[in-house]
Structure 1
Amino acid sequence: MTETYGGASCPFFPPQSSITRLRLGDPSLDPIKQTAKNVVDGAFRDVLTSPAARDLFTAKVSDEEISNRPLDEWFGFASSTADITEDDEFLRLCCAVALLHAFVQANWTGPDLDLKPLDIISGSAVTEDLLHQKSITELAYGGEPAYHLAQVPVFLRLAKLLLDLPYRHCKSIPWWRLRAWLVHEQVLDEPVAVPSDLLVSVEPLLQDFASHPDLAGRLILEQGLLEHHLGHDKAAADYFIRAARATQLEYELTGALGKRTKFQQNDITQLVLLAESRTREDDESAADESNPGDAVPSAAVSESVADSSKSVMPDTLALNDDTLLERTEFTSSSAGSRLARIDPSSQSPLHPLDQCILLALCLNVRNTSPSHGLTAEQMSPYVSRVISHPRNWSVHTMALLLRSRLEAHRTRTVERSTLQLQALVDQMPTADSTITERLRYFHAIPLPSKWEMERELALRFLSIGVVKSALEIFERLEMWEEVVKCWQSMERRDKGIAIVRDLLEGRKAEAETVISREKTSSERRRQVLDATRKAKLWCLLGDLEPENALEHYNRAWDTSQESSGRAMRSLGGYYFARADYPNAITCLHRAVSINPLLGRSWFILGCAYVRVEDWEGARSSFTRCVTIDDEDGESWNNLASVYLRMGEAGKKIEAEDNADGELEEQAAQLTVSDDTSKSIPFANKMLAFRALKQGLKFGYDSWRMWSNYMIVAMDVGELNEACRALARVVEERSAKDGEQSVDEDVLERLVDAVTRAPANANDAVEGDISTGTVARNPNEGHGLLRQVTDLFERTILPRVSSSRIFRARARLLTWQGLWEEVVNAYLEGYRCSSAGTMEKGETDVGKWREAVEEVVDIADVLTNFGPRVEGFNWKLQARSIVRTFMGRTKDFEDEPEWARLTVLQEEIRKEE
């Protein structure tokens, strides 16, 4: 499994390699081994200032060319790889990992870095300002700018350049490229697509890790975290579950009796996560095997690894609430659970890697349950299980951060939530734990960068109304878009406009940057403002000045040299809102070509295609939407709409007009017409049916989607599903729209589907009733009867009543032979009809004539079914109905139809 050079192993993660057992003070260490050990121990200065590394990072271009040449040409990395030795290749890997982790230390984990770029990069014309500007510009990717105040960004840029070189001896390179990409993604404003072979390239490593479950689990977990960051939640969930299986972590979310408040008298069932790590051979080997992230992929683990339990953990703030307990007090174990042997109140500590997996699974709960109302309740047990046993500084920090997010929306916990987040921000520069411990599990958790954590704190302040504190943080972080939003919330849009214009025109320098780089000239400021960020400012100005938006967005596109995805997204939205759909399509197509990961751009592009009746383009766009986010119910709905329109010339998807002209409102109101044409291929109808069925999992409360689903289900013969959909529409609409919430045509077709089968259940089965192999079609006859009956009795009639609904109900009861209920249903229908509700003084002759027909019909019903109801005086009921109607409508005695009522009255009298 390992590759040897000079008696040592090339870094390939195996825990039993010769590097693994190196110890501090070992006199046998050769320079290569010592370099690997320094990387693991976080001694990045020693690695990167060594003579070999200095030679690697000495600029090889002239002083005149250095400012105009990209960083990859400064050092000639690519030109010297032809005959590279194993030792040189290993040194490059060590330097790349040291650079990557130095960047992570400076921007994520802390403590403050004791290393500056000029300490390692040699060149008479090289300055920190030049390095910063070039690296930030080159780190911009996929049309998205890199965060300009990231510390030592040149370290990340150089690490990626080194890792992108060809390697012949070190097989772990794909893993390190994966890690470098995930770090790079978090520096960008928006996620962008990674190289297509990035995840595939690490798969061969899993075969080599077959005997090392922690290594396999860790690699799978990191693949999942990348998918999570890119928004591929379903794929990420699969990776997280695979990681748990690989490390043999046992876990189960279940219930156990316990108390949550101080004054609770009776135990009630509380959610609890039961989890148990597999038994490792010993702590040290466990640390070794789960430690590829320390530095060089393997594993030169110093003695300090075993001392992680002695380090100081981040402060866990107490709740100090007068009602809620600090943690749930469980009084019994979970009966029936497969992990029932575990006492919920005293679970054993989990291995730190298993804690990372639980936190990732917790992210999956959040992603797959965004609208169910159970998200916080489901996530809390995961987080509590990790917090209860701190094992690693970074992992515990991540758990506290997740708890802070969960508690941000509850009145009793919002104070601790904000204070805890502030404490986590404050701890980063401290040296309360070793660099090695902080970095050990960094790649296995979604820990946000320092600026993202401070941004989250500012947003938390903003949510509770502390606008000034939020504004101060945003200004310090130079996040101008958020600064502008703060001023807008204070109704000072003019202030936001002034800030953006000052930045663009050089009148306002970004203070932190100026101080750190000793710049005072606004002219110099304009020169170093990279094109991508400047384009973003022009877009922001366009958002603030709608009257000049088109000019500003085009200026942004030109400034970025036609590379700004933000500019094209803004232009596409501008044209779409003004119904200029061809231009909107052109701009949005460019935007998704630059960054194809933003589902919203694909959604608006699909809507624009719909407006111009380009069904194939719309299908492709909405398909990309649901590929990016398979929980996007609106995109599933629109995809179904498109399937029903493909191949139909001259037909449009109905769109409601929007008075406000809001982009999202217009895009969201695409609905399927009720009139589905017979010319639509059945295959397209089935595709629409399946798309709507998938979308309803995530748009359960959207009655429009249920209505569309009902219509399509009727069209493809899925009447069982149509019945369910009609019930949901009534539940959602009846309170506001009354009988309009019931599609009576659909209801009658459902009744027809039941009643066209033989009324005798034994005559209406498929199969041999004597052998018990009976099959019923769920979409007709007795297979559909129960659901249609429930539709009437449990959903429609308790909420809605109309004459047509009761008549449909009566036909169903007639088929069943329930004569008393049939008569009652027809009578209820009559009471809701025009005849039953007509008052004295009615002058509408047309309405009266319709009412006469209803009186004749109810008389016929009573004549036909009345005698079948035992003890029911149908004649008296019929005479009373006719007499009452004639008494209320005497004003129409001169009408010809009045004679019909007289004859009817005589016929009833004769029956008596």
Structure 2
Amino acid sequence: MSLDIQAVEKALLTGKWDDGLDSSSSHAPVLQIARNVVNGDFSDLKTSPSRDLFTVTQSNQDILDRPLAEWFNFSQAPAGSSPGDELLRLCCAVSCLHAFIQANWTGPDLDIKPLEVLALTPELSQRVSEDLLHQKAVSELAYGGEPAYHLAKTPIFLQLARLLLDTPFQHCQSAPWWQLRTWRIHEQLLDEPVAVPPAVFSGAARLLETFATEPDIAGRLLLEQGLLEHYVGNDKSAADYFVRAARATQLEYELTGALGKRTKFQEHDVTQLILLAESRARGDGSEPSSPQSQSQAQNPDPKDTSPDSTVNTSTEPKPNSTTAAASIDMAPAAIPETLALNDDTLLEQTAFTSSSASGLQAAAPGSRLGHIDPASQPALHPLDQSILLALCLNVKNTSPAHGLTAEQMAPYVARVIEHPRNWSVHTMALLLRSRLESSRTRTVERSVLQLQALVDQMPTADSAVAERLLYIHEILLPSKWEMERELALRYLTLGVVKSALEIFERLEMWEEAVKCWASMERADKGRALVRDLLEGRKAEADAVILQGKAISDKRRSVLDATREAKLWCLLGDLEPEHAVEHYTQAWEVSKESSGRAMRSLGGYYFAQGKYPETISCLRRAVAINPLLARSWFVLGCACIRVEDWEGAREAFVRCVSIDDEDGESWNNLASVYMRMGEAGKKAALEDGEEENAAQREDAPKQRIPFQNKLLAFRALKQGLKFSYDNWRMWNNYMIVALDVGELSEACRALARVVEERAAKDGPACVDEDVLDKLVDAVTRARAGGGEEKPDATADAASQTAGLERRVDDLFERTILPRVSSPRIFRARARLLMSEGRYGDALNAYLDAYRAGPAGTMEKGETDVERWREAVGEVEEIVDVLRNFGPRVEGFNWKLQARSVVRTFMGRTKDFEDEPEWARLVALQEEIRKEE
């Protein structure tokens, strides 16, 4: 029987062996290896034929200084390899990858050593040690200017997996998928995320059309692509992948409300947030999905990317809860310890009303989940649980900081914790719950204890290796050292500094250790620690290992360069007076590969106002690692300072491409568009704290192309979604909106500025020029309102009516209840006059008069110029009364006018000798004659 290579590949990917494959006796050796890999047994790496792949035949002196890729023959694997040979290479790559994951992520401790895998010549076996392999692998795993964590266990296995997967594969279609998985693990090994080669995503994406056609296989692939996108900061793309994964597996979920109690003393049910979710029935005796539903699952629709939406992909009626639960028989023998809350007020979990009919409060119309009892939901498949945890991650990263994030995430986590089905998935759910509970007084204790329990469980053997690895690629579980680091940071927030310091020093995370010393007001100890490391008085673990080893100076410098550069950067942070010297030293030590050195030096120059030097440094930094938005942001600000508008535009577009919730970058991008002139026409607004360029004299409006203004308007509109309370952005938005003719938006922006600034700045918060233009727009529209409008202008008429309502509300609900000034009252009066409300308009004019110089002038005034201005106001208000007073029924405008003039003259008799006094006398006489 021929080898069913695709079935073996799917078994490797899913972690489930198909017993039907064992009948292929002609390929028994490689099939046995594949079966052992699926079962979490990697001992075949120590025996032939697997070990033959790792034969090192060269024994010349400089082999130790050569890359690992040159040690083995598989680096030049022939393109015409047989299916069995390719499958052997793939199995060995998976074994190496999973061995590394077991040693550093899932536990228990690995029972295989690197030297047992490599087939060395007698001469090399005397010179090559596991410590040397460790150092060599750590050095080669550094990528994008970011060092790999130097205390990771057996990193040689990850490097071997990468090298094997880089060889050509003609028969094994899943090789790109395993490259995707390897990249995810590699990213988590680095200090900071780095850009992933586009080929990694494109290669995996093609599998959806050829290889990953089954619902769960497609769901896994989409989910894993989304997790990698999420890890490198592409949250929008990640959200799309997560929802497509849910559609592929036919997971239905809905974030809604149900009646329930949250505390022990609660007497009445109130609406609680809940996630209703149901998996499709899978094999093992359950009814298979219909071909139609399978077709839908194989072609997921990525259009709906809302994590709160219901995903309905099956056209068949869903099984009841009992059937769905029965189809999932994957409960492990042991799960991570779930600590109880033991609080005197809060319940362990929300007690929902046990009735789907009466308990469900907000089910969407036509929801397919209305039959679910909120108090007893069906168990979910572990893959669907992983998707929900991924959606939970996305909620965390796409919600604005308005305090609801934890409330949104909690139902996702609670739904997964409710039915433990897999060791690793349950570990991830408990970790997320621990993070959510870390900021609440009543839950912070369980948060820390739960995290400690998760750290402690790693070395244990309470569950099988295969169980722990089964869904490890479908969740974003941190490595052992990252989890311990998180525990130490949690200790820091609680003030347990010494315990945190002990963890950081054991993990050799010197930057965090220095922060601990600083928090204890012992910054000198932190500086001494770094200097001791640099000068050799204190050695890191790997340096101790290498002491006395026969290793070339060249090799030693390569091994130590990345971390030594990081230490020099840290010393530069601690000694600002010598910062440039230390950062430069770091750059030189790393042989110009340390992105951290250039980021730090660029930030130092920016603080010193040396903008050309800043730009030079940061351009090098972003060339090494383009995923750090802060570097692009500072680079953009420096370009603005030197008026390099094209460079600034590029920098801020990159900022918002990385993080589209960065309101400051959107604002700066708009500012750049308003300054860059014709060059900005070439800029496409794809994705972006500086003052608004429209207000600067050196950027006259006539030089700004309309297209640039429109781009600036769109950028500000996007940024305000995430900086709603930033009145400066609203002020910029108001001005640009006025420029592009978006008057309703300008009105809305002015209202927001007044709401934010009125209490502190009073009338100064109102841009009276903008207010006048808005009123002018309304009055002009009303002046032409009597003409018959053709059908083509119906939309314009509707927009005008909308602007009228907005401007009315602006005065009545926003401005006048908070602030007032003569100009505001006059603008209000003109608006009322255009509406024909003459009585209200006259009252507004009189309010403007009373608030101006004439109305506020008291006896004893000596300022002649102010008095002359007041005389003009008196004449103006009398003209207004004369023109519009007769239109108001029952209003004695003559009496009002005479009273205004008489009162003003009575208060300012000291100015009788001024020429303008005669104008007041004449005005008084005119009024008397009219009576």
User: TM-score when scaled to structure 1?
Assistant: 0.91
CA distance in 2 between counterparts of 1:886 and 1:330 reads 76
1:885 Cα deviation from its structure 2 partner: 2.5
Which residue of structure 1 lines up, in the alignment, with residue 361 of structure 2? Answer: 334
Residue 65 of structure 1 is matched in structure 2 by 62
For the pair 1:163 / 2:165, whether they are aligned, the reply is yes
Counterparts of 2:646 and 2:330 in 1: how far apart (Å)?
Answer: 58
> 2: CA distance between counterparts of 1:404 and 1:792?
49
CA shift for structure 1 position 394: 0.8
Q: 1:50 pairs with 47, 50, 74, which one?
A: 47
Does residue 679 of structure 2 align to residue 613 of structure 1? Answer: no
| Cα displacement (A) at 1:888 | 2.6
1:394-793 residue pairs with structure 2 within 5 A?
394-510=424-540, 512-513=541-542, 530-647=560-677, 668-675=689-696, 676-759=700-783, 763=787, 765-767=789-791, 774-777=794-797, 781-793=800-812
SS of the aligned residue for 1:756 comes to: helix
Pair 1:829-2:829 in alignment: no
Provide the secondary structure at the position in 2 that maps to 1:77: helix
**Could you tell me how far apart the structure 2 residues matched to 1:78 and 1:27 are?**
29
Cα distance in 2 for residues equivalent to 1:523 and 1:496:
31
Task: Report Cα offsets for 1:570-612 as digits up to 9, x if no partner.
Answer: 1211222222222211111111111111111111111121111
- Give the direction of change, closer, same or farther, for the CA distance of 1:759–1:80 in structure 2 (3 Å limit): closer
> Which of 190, 198, 201 matches 1:199?
201
Shift of 1:126: 1.2
**Structure 2 CA distance for partners of 1:515 and 1:348, relative to 1, 3 Å:** farther
1:215, CA displacement in angstroms?
0.5
Inter-partner Cα distance in structure 2 for 1:38 and 1:777: 74
Measure the CA separation in 2 of the matches of 1:801 and 1:553.
55
C-alpha distance after superposition, 1:138-168 (max 9, x if no partner): 0000000000111111110111011111111
**What is the letter of the counterpart of residue 843 of structure 2?**
N
For residues 112-147 of structure 1, what are the alpha-carbon distances to aligned partners after superposition, in whole Å with 9 as ceiling and x for unaligned?
111221221233121011101100000000000000
* Cα shift readout 1:702-721 (whole Å, capped 9, x = no counterpart): 11111111111111111111
In the aligned structure 2, how far is the partner of 1:210 from the partner of 1:91?
A: 21
How far residue 249 of structure 1 moved from its aligned partner, in angstroms, is 1.0
Please report how far the alpha carbon of residue 334 of structure 1 lies from its aligned counterpart in structure 2 after TM superposition: 3.0
Partner deviation per Cα, 1:65-121 (whole Å, 9 max, x = no partner) = 232111111122223435533222211111110110111111111111112212212
SS of the residue aligned with 1:13?
A: helix
Shift of 1:314: 1.2
Shift of 1:484: 0.9
SS of aligned partner of 1:579:
coil
1:856 aligns with 2:894: no
- 2:78 aligned partner: 81
Q: Quick one: which amino acid aligns to residue 268 of structure 1?
A: V
Change (3 A) 1:515 1:530: closer
Q: Secondary structure, in 3 states, of the residue corresponding to 1:398?
A: helix
Q: More displaced, 709-718 or 602-611?
A: 602-611
Residues 766, 810 of structure 1: alpha-carbon distance in 2 compared, 3 angstrom cutoff: farther
State the SS of the aligned residue for 1:409: coil
Q: 1:113 to 1:23 in 2, by over 3 A?
A: farther
Residues 54, 763 of structure 1: alpha-carbon distance in 2 compared, 3 angstrom cutoff:
same
TM superposition shift of 1:555: 0.6
- State the distance in 1 between where 2:551 and 2:495 align: 35
| Structure 1 position 262, deviation (Å) | 2.2
CA distance in 2 between partners of 1:838 and 1:691 (Å):
47
Task: Out of 34-43 and 406-415, give the one that drifted further.
Answer: 406-415
Q: 1:542 to 1:284 in 2, by over 3 A?
A: farther
**Matching residue's letter, 1:36:** A
| Contiguous gaps of at least 5 residues in structure 1 | 291-304, 650-666
Cα distance in 2 for partners of 1:15, 1:122 equals 25
C-alpha separation in 2, matches of 1:16 and 1:543: 45
Q: After the TM superposition, which residues 34-433 of structure 1 pair with which residues of structure 2 at under 5 Å, given as runs?
A: 34-44=32-42, 46-62=43-59, 64-123=61-120, 124=125, 125-209=127-211, 211-282=213-284, 308-331=330-353, 332-337=359-364, 338=367, 339-433=369-463
Alpha-carbon distance, 1:701 to partner:
1.4
**Identical amino acids, percent of aligned pairs:** 68
Distance in structure 1 (CA, Å) of the matches to 2:874 and 2:219:
76
Is 2:30 the counterpart of 1:32? yes
1:757–1:764 Cα contact (<8 Å) kept: no
Cα 1:370–1:910 change in 2 (3 A) is same
Question: d(CA) in 2 for partners of 1:642 and 1:283?
Answer: 63
Preserved contact between residue 759 and residue 816 of structure 1 (Cα < 8 Å): no
| Greater shift in the superposed pair: 860-869 or 234-243 | 860-869
Q: For 2:781, what is the secondary structure of its paired residue?
A: coil
CA distance, structure 1, for counterparts of residue 7 and residue 251 of structure 2: 30
Q: Distance in 2 between matches of 1:450 and 1:905?
A: 91
| Cα offset, 1:285, TM superposition | 11
Q: AA paired with 1:242?
A: R
Quote the offset at 1:18 in angstroms: 14
User: What is the distance in 1 between the residues matched to 2:9 and 2:20?
Assistant: 19
Q: Are the equivalent residues in 2 in contact too, given 1:509–1:522 (CA < 8 A)?
A: no
- For 2:898, the aligned partner's letter is R
- Tell whether the 8 Å contact from 2:8 to 2:21 is kept in structure 1 after alignment: no
More deviation, 128-137/623-632: 623-632
AA of the residue aligned to 2:508: E
2:865 is matched with which residue? Answer: 846
Q: Secondary structure at the match of 1:841?
A: coil
Q: Retained in 2: the 8 A contact 1:506–1:522?
A: no
Q: CA RMSD of the aligned region, Å?
A: 2.9
C-alpha spacing 1:83/1:208, structure 2 compared with 1 (3 Å): closer
In 1: Cα distance, 2:253 partner to 2:388 partner:
9
C-alpha contact 1:15 1:285 (8 A) present in aligned 2: no
Amino acid at match of 2:716: L
Please give the residue correspondences for 1:872-891 in structure 2 after superposition, counting only pairs within 5 Å. Answer: 872-891=891-910
Equivalenced residues, count: 870
Counterpart of 2:301? Answer: none
Contact 2:75/2:167, CA 8 A, preserved across alignment: yes
CA contact (8 A) 1:359 1:383 kept: yes
Q: Deviations over 1:812-862 (max 9, x none)?
A: 110000122112211222222122222333221111211222222222222
- 8 Å contact 1:758–1:764 — kept in the other structure? no
Which whole-Å CA distance do the structure 1 matches of 2:14 and 2:406 have between them? 44
Greater mean alpha carbon deviation, residues 901-910 or residues 806-815? 901-910
What does the per-residue CA deviation read over 1:267-288, in whole Å, with 9 as the maximum and x for residues that have no partner? 32221111111111327999xx
CA distance in 1 between partners of 2:11 and 2:3 (Å): 18
How far apart are 1:775 and its partner, in Å?
2.9
2:306 corresponds to which residue?
A: none
SS of aligned partner of 1:587: helix
Q: CA deviation at 1:61?
A: 2.2
Matched letter for residue 733 of structure 2: Y
Paired with 1:97 and 1:745, the residues of 2 have a C-alpha distance of: 68
